[in-house]
Structure 1
Amino acid sequence: MILLKRDFRWLIAGIVASCLFICLTLIVKLNTHWISKFDISFEKIILATGGTNSDQLFSIIAFFGSPIANLLLTMILAISIWVKQKNIFNLLWIMFVQVGGDALVLLFKIIIARPRPQNQVITDYGFSYPSGHTFSTTIFIFIILFIIVPLLDDQETQFAVSLLAIFWLGLVAFSRLYLRNHFPSDVLGSFFLAISWWELMRSFYLTLKVNFSEKMGE
């Protein structure tokens, strides 16, 4: 019963996140005055935290939170799970969630074609919306929270790992704003897209797992 309630909540979260992402994407594409005001108001707060030491710190965080870094980390986790569980389906699913999601982000970047903010601390190329760093890190954190954490026996360890994972996600997202590689709406859109994508992939996983179990039972 608890699992059913949890699944229902995630289904609702996925639907809501999808609707919010679609709305925000349309607003960004239309480049309305409202979204510009939203981005500028948050950028002013972030600019007040600047400094040389912080520049170096957030540059390092951004490097380890990049899509390539997250892809490599996801691959390591997937292989580790395969070695422990000997389940090739889980390995392929985990990799598809990350790789497929990154491809989806790239598609939206091309469609929206939003230029990056001016005066970047460290120059980043390509289009701005949505944030690839934020999306790939969010997916990686979801993999940790929903696949790795349940495998841990100690509840205190589970809590500590979960807390550190969420904290890391916050740092990566903030680093994209601090370095002025993205607008706040880019990061927000990535969160919405990541939740939507994760719920879609999670639903596919559960469906395929049930079908696979039924066939094995036959």
Structure 2
Amino acid sequence: MLIGQDPNCWKRFMVSFVLFLIVAGMVMSNSMILQVLDSVFQALLAPNPNHTPNATYHIMVVVSFLGSPKMALVWMLIITFFLWGFKYKVPALWAWLTLIVGDLLDEIVKYLAKRDRPLQHPTGDHGYSFPSGHVMGTFLVAAVLFLIVVPLIKNAAVRVVCQLLLIMAVFLVAVSRIYLYAHYPFDTVGAMLLSYAWLQISETLYLTFANDIKRRWRKTANSKL
């Protein structure tokens, strides 16, 4: 299987989920500590509150667009199209499940937390701020590539470069959302923690049900795992 057994999976889930609950609790209680930390990191990463259209601003707008939830669906469609074509049908279904459930979790937490966006946020951004849907979608798309696509690359050096680029992509989207005042810094941190926690559950579901899906559904009978 592309996704192997990992005895530490539940440990990673517990750590990331507990950290997420701590951040979410601080958000929902309007913690002064969190507000100070957000202000400090925002001052460092978002030096353009007036959205002056300089080169950095335009780059961040493009990065933010490429990391948007709608684009996450486009990227996943492209990824799963090729996975299905190369007979990785069950992994393709798992990839969609991972992203769609992740998006649902993001919306549920947004509704529960009800954190308003920064005052300087772009007019095109609507809805609540915590956690960042852009970061969560990008994280899960990158995770699918990291776990399923990159391991298929035979050259070890190329694999490492691809892994580093995927990690950089997630952090760049997070920085772009902070730079554009679409989110507070800990909205992006919360999204990463929630995504990582959900990913551990999703991997466990794959290991539990992949063989059954391949065996019981005619269209996936020839699927590689």
**Structure-2-length-normalised TM-score:** 0.87
In the other structure, the counterpart of 1:97 is 98
In the other structure, the counterpart of 1:44 is 43
Q: RMSD of the alignment, in Å? A: 2.0
* Contact residue 90 and residue 213 of structure 2 kept, 8 A: no
Q: Deviations over 1:39-64 (max 9, x none)?
A: 11111112337762111110000000
CA distance in 1, matches of 2:145, 2:10: 19
In the other structure, the counterpart of 2:156 is 155
AA paired with 1:138? F
CA distance in 2, matches of 1:115, 1:49: 20
Matching residue within 69, 72, 87 for 1:67: 69
AA paired with 2:35? S
CA distance in 1, matches of 2:215, 2:97: 23
Aligned counterparts, 1:45-194, within 5 A: 45-48=44-47, 52-85=54-87, 87-120=88-121, 123-194=124-195
In the other structure, the counterpart of 2:30 is 31
Q: Deviations over 1:45-97 (max 9, x none)?
A: 12337762111110000000001101111111111011101x43222211111
Instruction: Choose 197-206 or 12-21, whichever is displaced more.
Output: 12-21
* Contact residue 109 and residue 129 of structure 1 kept, 8 A: yes
Q: Give the match's secondary structure for 1:31.
A: coil
AA paired with 1:59? V
CA distance in 2, matches of 1:198, 1:174: 22
* Higher RCO (Cα < 8 Å, 6 or more apart): 2
CA distance in 2, matches of 1:65, 1:140: 10
Q: Give the match's secondary structure for 1:119.
A: coil
Unaligned runs of 5+ in 1: none
CA distance in 1, matches of 2:114, 2:138: 22
CA distance in 1, matches of 2:89, 2:213: 13
Displacement, 1:26? 1.3
**Structure-1-length-normalised TM-score:** 0.90
Identity of aligned residues (%): 26
Displacement, 1:212? 5.4
Q: Give the match's secondary structure for 1:156.
A: helix
CA distance in 1, matches of 2:182, 2:205: 33
CA distance in 2, matches of 1:99, 1:209: 18
CA distance in 2, matches of 1:204, 1:94: 12
Q: Give the match's secondary structure for 2:125.
A: coil
* Contact residue 122 and residue 179 of structure 1 kept, 8 A: no
CA distance in 2, matches of 1:126, 1:213: 39
Displacement, 1:211? 4.7
Whichever structure has more helix as a proportion of its residues is: 1
Q: Give the match's secondary structure for 1:26.
A: helix
Q: How many residues were matched structurally?
A: 211
CA distance in 2, matches of 1:181, 1:105: 16
Instruction: Choose 65-74 or 116-125, whichever is displaced more.
Output: 116-125
